Amino acid sequence: MGLEIKKIENGNKVTLQIKGMINTDTVSVLNKVLEKMNFNDIDLTFDFINLSYITSVGLRTLLTVRKKLQEEKIRIIGMNEAVYDVFKMSGFLDFFPIEAAKSSYLLPEDPSFQQLLTYRVATDPGKKILFCDDKSYTWNDIDQASQIVAGDFFNLGVRKGSHIGMFARNTFNWAAAFYAAQKLGAITVLLNYSLKPEEVKQYSQYGDIDFLCYDTASAKKDYESFRDAVTGADSNIKKLYDISANIDFLARKDELDELEGRFTEEFNSDDPCIMIFTSGTTGRPKGVLSSARDRVINSGKMNDGFNLNENDKILLFLPLCHVFGFGSGLNTSIIRNIPLYMPSDISDKNLLEIIEKEKITLFNSVPTKILSMASSEYFDSAKADSLRVSVIAGSAITAPQMLGLKEKLPHVHFVSLYGMSELAPISKTEYDDTVEHITGTVGKPVKDVKVEIRDHVSGERKKTGEIGELYVKSENSLICYYRMDLDMQAINDEGWIPTGDLGFIDEGGYIHLTGRCKDLIIWGGENISPKEVEEVISQVDGIHDVKVVGVPDEKYGEIVAAAIVMSEGKSFDREKTNAHVLEHLAKYKAPSYYVLYDKFPLLSNGKIDMVNLKKEVADKRGSDEAL
* pLDDT tens sequence across 346-397: 999 999 999 999 999 999 998 888 999 998 999 999 999 999 999 998 877 8
C-beta of residue 289 within 8 angstroms of C-beta of residue 482: yes
Identify the DSSP state of 532.
Answer: H
Q: Percent of the chain having pLDDT more than 70?
A: 96
The pLDDT value recorded for residue 347 is: 95
Tens of pLDDT, residues 531-556: 889 889 989 999 988 999 999 998 89
b vs e for 129-147, b when ≥16 Cβ sit within 10 Å of the residue's Cβ?
bbbbeeeebbbbbbbbbbb
The pLDDT value recorded for residue 512 is: 93
DSSP string spanning 373-436?
HHTSTT--GGGGTT--EEEE-SS---HHHHHHHHHH-TT-EEEEEEEETTEEEEEE--TT--HH
Interacting residues of 363 by C-beta distance below 8 A, sequence separation 6+: 314, 315, 351, 355, 370, 387, 389, 390
Q: Flag whether pLDDT at 604 surpasses 70.
A: no
Q: What's the pLDDT band for 283 if we cut at 50, 70, 90?
A: low
Tell the burial category of 404 from Cβ atoms under 10 Å away from its Cβ (0-12, 13-18, 19+): middle
Q: What's the pLDDT band for 2 if we cut at 50, 70, 90?
A: confident
Give the Å distances, CA to CA, from 330 to 127, 170, 296, 326: 15, 10, 11, 6
The pLDDT value recorded for residue 285 is: 85
C-beta of residue 601 within 8 angstroms of C-beta of residue 609: yes
CATH architecture of 521-619: 2-Layer Sandwich (3.30)
Q: Cis link prior to 400 (omega < 30° from 0)?
A: no
The pLDDT value recorded for residue 279 is: 67
| Higher pLDDT, residue 101 or 403 | 403
b vs e for 363-372, b when ≥16 Cβ sit within 10 Å of the residue's Cβ?
bbbbbbbbbb
CA 288 to chain centre: 13
Tens of pLDDT, residues 42-98: 999 998 888 888 999 999 999 999 999 988 899 898 787 778 888 888 888 888 887
Sequence ranges of the chain with CATH classification 3.30.750.24: 3-94
> What mean pLDDT comes out for the span 471-483?
93
Identify the DSSP state of 487.
Answer: G
The pLDDT value recorded for residue 102 is: 41
Sequence ranges of the chain with CATH classification 3.40.50.12780: 139-291+319-338
- What is the average pLDDT score of the chain? 90
Sequence ranges of the chain with CATH classification 3.30.300.30: 521-619
C-beta of residue 306 within 8 angstroms of C-beta of residue 502: no
Residue 415: other Cβ atoms inside 10 A: 25
Query: Which residues on adjacent β-strands are paired with residue 521?
Result: 528
**Among 174, 156, 334, which Cα is nearest to 249's?**
174
Q: Cis link prior to 410 (omega < 30° from 0)?
A: no
CATH topology of domain 3-94: Transcription Regulator spoIIAA (3.30.750)
C-beta of residue 430 within 8 angstroms of C-beta of residue 437: yes
* 450 residue type, one letter: K
Report helix, strand and coil shares of the chain as percent, to nearest 5: 35, 25, 40
CA atoms within 13 A on the CB side of 82: 13
Q: What are phi and psi of 522, to 5 degrees?
A: -110, 105
Identify the DSSP state of 567.
Answer: P
3-class DSSP string for 54-99 = ECHHHHHHHHHHHHHCCHHHEEEECCCHHHHHHHHHHCHHHCCCEC
C-beta of residue 250 within 8 angstroms of C-beta of residue 165: no
C-beta of residue 509 within 8 angstroms of C-beta of residue 546: no
C-beta of residue 137 within 8 angstroms of C-beta of residue 129: yes
Q: Flag whether pLDDT at 281 surpasses 60.
A: no
Distance CA 267, CA 114 (A): 8
Residue 95: other Cβ atoms inside 10 A: 17
Identify the DSSP state of 461.
Answer: B
For 139-291+319-338, which CATH class?
A: alpha beta
Q: What's the pLDDT band for 610 if we cut at 50, 70, 90?
A: confident
Q: Flag whether pLDDT at 185 surpasses 90.
A: yes
Identify the DSSP state of 121.
Answer: H
* 290 residue type, one letter: S
CA–CA–CA angle 304, 322, 190 (5° rounding): 125
Q: What are phi and psi of 341, to 5 degrees?
A: -105, 120
Query: Which residues on adjacent β-strands are paired with residue 433?
Result: none
Distance CA 303, CA 331 (A): 11
**What length is written for the chain?**
627
C-beta of residue 206 within 8 angstroms of C-beta of residue 134: no
Tens of pLDDT, residues 563-576: 999 988 999 999 99
The pLDDT value recorded for residue 365 is: 93
**Among 607, 600, 545, which Cα is nearest to 617's?**
600
CA atoms within 13 A on the CB side of 528: 30
DSSP string spanning 249-262?
GGGGGGGHHHHTT-
Distance CA 191, CA 198 (A): 13
Q: What's the pLDDT band for 104 if we cut at 50, 70, 90?
A: very low
Q: Percent of the chain having pLDDT more than 90?
A: 66
